[in-house]
Amino acid sequence: MKINQDTAFDNKPCWRKNGVWGDEKPRCEKLKVVEHCRNCDVFEQAARAVIVDDVTENHPGNETLTFDDLVQRQRLSGDKSILPFRLGQYCFAIPATHIVTVHDHVPIHSIPFNLNPVVNGVVAVNHEIFTFINIVELLSLSFAEKTDGQAIVRGLYKRILVVDFDSRIMAFYVDEVYPIYRYFHQAVNEELPGDFFQTLSQGRLSKEGTWCDDSHILDLEKIADKFENTLF
């Protein structure tokens, strides 16, 4: 969707005025019920309009498509969806329903007297505070050495993932994030190599091209349990 830069400020949507991403007063009355703009029907309808406008604008011939048509088309490519990401040479994935947001770097604020090597501190993302963890330490990963050139190129794509681990929402750094991928559950290979993947992974998917081969789908419940054990 194209935005007229001259009128963009005057036409700011409600969520950027008196919603969670705005600072105008009084605050939106709907926040008392929905708590966050992403749960509001106004925000949902705006998102639907952006998706449909983008498809019809960039793909001639699709002008008559509705949002429901697009959803049905997407379902034909799979009944589940994941967000693949990379940590060093490892490729993992998290069910898309557990992704709260993907964000650029933000300052990490330390916690006084914190001795837990898994907890780095707290971060503020979209006006909400989350525990920031060292996912590499939590998963007990060890990386192969890289050249300086590789480290520089890889570091350009580093992002923060905010994830709902069932018991709590936490944030962590990843080296690279890939587009959401839809798949059928029958495509998951449950034969996993090594003790780590057998204990913390639900299975693996192989897909060449847009992201790493053998992307392991993390078992968030087991990882949450492992995190809880580090607190005692």
Domain containing residue 210: CATH number: 2.40.50.180
Residue 213 maps to a domain: yes
Cis peptide before 26 (omega within 30 of 0): yes
Could you tell me if 224 and 169 are in contact, meaning their C-beta atoms sit under 8 angstroms apart? no
Q: pLDDT tens, 85-102?
A: 999 888 899 999 999 999
Instruction: Output the CA torsion sign for 114, 221, 128, 139.
Output: positive
Please tell me the predicted confidence (pLDDT) of residue 151: 46
Kindly state whether residues 217 and 119 are assigned to the same domain.
yes
Please tell me the predicted confidence (pLDDT) of residue 207: 66
Residue 64 maps to a domain: yes
Kindly state whether residues 104 and 36 are assigned to the same domain.
no
Q: Could you give the number of structural domains in the chain?
A: 2
* Inter-CA distances, 14 with 3, 4, 42, 94, 126, Å: 16, 17, 9, 31, 15
pLDDT at residue 143 greater than cutoff 90: no
Residue 150 maps to a domain: yes
* pLDDT (average), residues 37-59: 66
Residue 23 maps to a domain: yes
Domain closes at, from 33, 49, 75: 75
**Which amino acid, 203?**
G
Residue 51 maps to a domain: yes
Domain closes at, from 58, 75, 92: 75
pLDDT at residue 226 greater than cutoff 50: yes
Kindly state whether residues 92 and 46 are assigned to the same domain.
no
- Provide the domain limits for residue 40: 14-75
Kindly state whether residues 50 and 92 are assigned to the same domain.
no
Rounded to two decimals, the pTM is 0.64
Kindly state whether residues 66 and 128 are assigned to the same domain.
no
Report residue 170's pLDDT band, with 50, 70 and 90 as the boundaries. Answer: very high
Please tell me the predicted confidence (pLDDT) of residue 78: 64
Kindly state whether residues 109 and 198 are assigned to the same domain.
yes
Residue 29 maps to a domain: yes
Cα-to-chain-centroid distance, residue 135: 14
pLDDT at residue 108 greater than cutoff 80: yes
* pLDDT (average), residues 46-50: 67
Kindly state whether residues 110 and 218 are assigned to the same domain.
yes
Kindly state whether residues 160 and 181 are assigned to the same domain.
yes
* pLDDT (average), residues 181-186: 77
How does 15-31 read in b/e, with b if 16+ C-beta sit within 10 Å? beebbbebeeeeebebb
Q: pLDDT tens, 30-41?
A: 888 877 887 787
* pLDDT (average), residues 129-157: 71
Residue 110 maps to a domain: yes
CA distance 131 to 112: 13
Please tell me the predicted confidence (pLDDT) of residue 120: 95
Could you tell me if 1 and 54 are in contact, meaning their C-beta atoms sit under 8 angstroms apart? yes
Kindly state whether residues 113 and 211 are assigned to the same domain.
yes
Kindly state whether residues 54 and 96 are assigned to the same domain.
no
pLDDT at residue 228 greater than cutoff 50: yes
- The mean predicted confidence, pLDDT, of the chain is 77
Domain closes at, from 30, 49, 75: 75
* pLDDT (average), residues 128-148: 82
pLDDT at residue 64 greater than cutoff 80: no
Residue 4 maps to a domain: no
Kindly state whether residues 107 and 37 are assigned to the same domain.
no
Kindly state whether residues 141 and 214 are assigned to the same domain.
yes
* pLDDT (average), residues 44-49: 71
